[in-house]
Structure 1
Amino acid sequence: MKDRELLVLAARAADDKRAEDIVVLNMQGISPLADYFVICHGNSDKQVQAIAREIKEQAHEVQIDVKRMEGFEEARWVLVDLGDVVVHVFHKDERDYYNLERLWGDVPREDIAEELGQ
């Protein structure tokens, strides 16, 4: 699966569980960790867990291994590592605090609204 398809799969899975403010940062040539960061948030611990779980399940359906998932039990900032795509699922309060979009403010954003049907 190509990186673009993987990031759309992750974003669509998050969208399926009503994740809010889904942002995709193109990290190619900027970070050795991943080509794309997908950032989103939920409004409760249960929603954050549901979003992360859905991403993991949809990845497994297409035989993509989740390299690791961190922070699931606390449900404040769940990191889902899909290899070239890393998904950050925040609780709304934590997203405001860490503000990754500001931290990586000079990184280009990917427009995936069409793929999400928005």
Structure 2
Amino acid sequence: MKNARLEFIVEKLSEKKAEDIECIDLSTKDYIVDYVIIATAMAGRHTYALLDMLKTELKPKGETFYAIDEESEDWIVVDLGDIMIHLFTQNHRTKFNLEEFLLQEFSKQMA
């Protein structure tokens, strides 16, 4: 990972005890963002703590939060324009398996 913004976000998520942090580079694919970061929270309240930390750390750096979907503590989505962050509880991450979906979607595009 050579993108300083991505490295910073991943580092901060890790410091706040997010688990299984994945960064998927989609910059060469036909997708709505260049990068997707997926992280697992320890519990529902932890997803909100991770979101609060992202706001606290990124807004002073000039990051624009274009949209935040926080209706469910089990899956929070943060849109930073070219980076999409998904914060899941373990059950929802397993249930929706976003990594596998993205891999399947882009293997279809290449066929």
Q: TM-score over 0.5 for the alignment?
A: yes
3-state SS, counterpart of residue 69 of structure 1 = strand
In the alignment, is residue 101 of structure 1 matched against residue 99 of structure 2? yes
Q: Once superposed, what is the RMSD of the aligned Cα atoms?
A: 1.7
* Stretch moving more, 49-58 or 98-107: 98-107
Tell me the percent identity.
23
Structure (1 or 2) with the larger CA radius of gyration: 2
Map of 2:34 onto structure 1: 35
Map of 2:46 onto structure 1: 47
Q: Which amino acid aligns with 1:21?
A: D
How many residue pairs get aligned? The number is 104
Map 1:1-118 → 2, pairs under 5 A: 4-71=3-70, 73-105=71-103
- Residue 22 and residue 29 in structure 1: after superposition, are their counterparts in 2 closer, same or farther (change >3 A)? same
Structure 1 residue ranges, 4+ long, deviating more than 6 angstroms after superposition: none
What's the TM-score, normalizing by structure 1? 0.80
Quote the offset at 1:67 in angstroms. 0.9
Quote the offset at 1:105 in angstroms. 2.6
Q: Which amino acid aligns with 2:15?
A: D
Distance between the aligned counterparts of 2:103 and 2:60, measured in 1?
Answer: 33
Greater RCO structure (CA 8 Å; 6+ sep)? 1
Contact 1:9/1:59 (<8 A) preserved = no
Q: Which amino acid aligns with 2:34?
A: D
Once the two structures are superposed, what CA deviation does each residue of 1:30-53 show, in whole Å capped at 9, x if it has no partner?
Answer: 243111000011121111111121
Quote the offset at 1:56 in angstroms. 1.9
Quote the offset at 1:11 in angstroms. 1.2
| Structure 2: tracts of 5 or more residues without a match | 107-111
